[in-house]
Amino acid sequence: MQLTEDQKAEIAAAQDQSSQTRRATVSALEDILYEPMPVLDHGFVRVIDYMGDDAAIVQAARVSYGRGTKKVSDDAGLINYLLRHRHTTPFEMCEIKYHVKLPIFVARQWIRHRTANVNEYSARYSMLDREFYIPAPDQLAAQSQANRQGRGDVLEGEEAARVLALLQDDATTTYDHYVEMLNEDADGNVVDEGRNGLARELARMNLTLNTYTQWYWKIDLHNLMHFLSLRADDHAQYEIRVYADAMLESFKRWVPITYDAFTQYRMGATELSAAAMDVVKKLLAGDDVSQETSAMSKREWRELMESLGREA
């Protein structure tokens, strides 16, 4: 990811500003405020603003006027309890705002999470940058034969080279046509005085989905955890997972006690159905149980055995 000199100057100016406040601030998050965390080839995630901290969650849960308890261990115990028992509203008291640069096809997957406030760069008013996501060779995989939503073996040799060339050529060609239809340069100047350019809202429809867009994305902590539990998971698509991974770092800096509870009770946990719990109880009792006698489907059985570290 390359930043222009203007962008670097804008970030430096924002970081140089400071204000006295009585609001809760988190020094670890302040250290990276406005700083872009590179993602993919041209993308980034950066924290623009935030509200609240771990103490705000505790305060909301106890409905008190203070900042929680005097012992961090007590706050951690309460936050663990809240997450463990899915008491979600105290986490809604904290909010965070991100500036994200991402490929359009990732944005269209991301927007399915309808619990955030979003304002996206508008190609009706401005030109999109000449930047496209081209997968790294180790991410250029064939369609999985076992999972309709997953990837199979990585493409190699001439086949991989051909696909990469097609992705690059298609993106470049359609962007060239985009500029030609607009009849203007990146600064908005008319290129050919002898003809009219197509309206920006129409010219954009020819662009490929790996073209980069940007948005501001504001969300409360409860819904951020839901987003991250799905998108930072190993089963998530790689191109959105790397954004979630970058956001996990800011999450850890912002509310470290909640982050530890989240990794314990969400990311590192397994939810069991009633049938699965019955199987676990029988296994602990030493009973002989199989998929056929478990009232579970083959897929459910396989997933349970994998989570228990047993042969399916």
Q: Which residues are catalytic?
A: 231
Q: How many helices (H) and strands (E) does the chain have?
A: 12, 7
- The pair of structure tokens assigned to 154 is 């990585």
What is each CA distance from 292 to 125, 145, 178, 271, 279, in whole angstroms? 60, 26, 58, 21, 12
Distance CA 33, CA 254 (A): 11
From the number of C-beta atoms within 10 Å of its C-beta (0-12, 13-18, 19+), residue 202 rates as: exposed
Yes or no: say if 151 and 143 are a contact pair by the CB < 8 Å rule: yes
Sign (positive or negative) of CA dihedral 48, 52, 55, 61: negative
Q: CA 217, 11, 50: angle at the middle one, nearest 5?
A: 40
Question: If we measure between CA atoms, which residue out of 259, 253, 266 comes closest to residue 79?
Answer: 259
The pairing of strands 117-120 and 141-143 is: unpaired
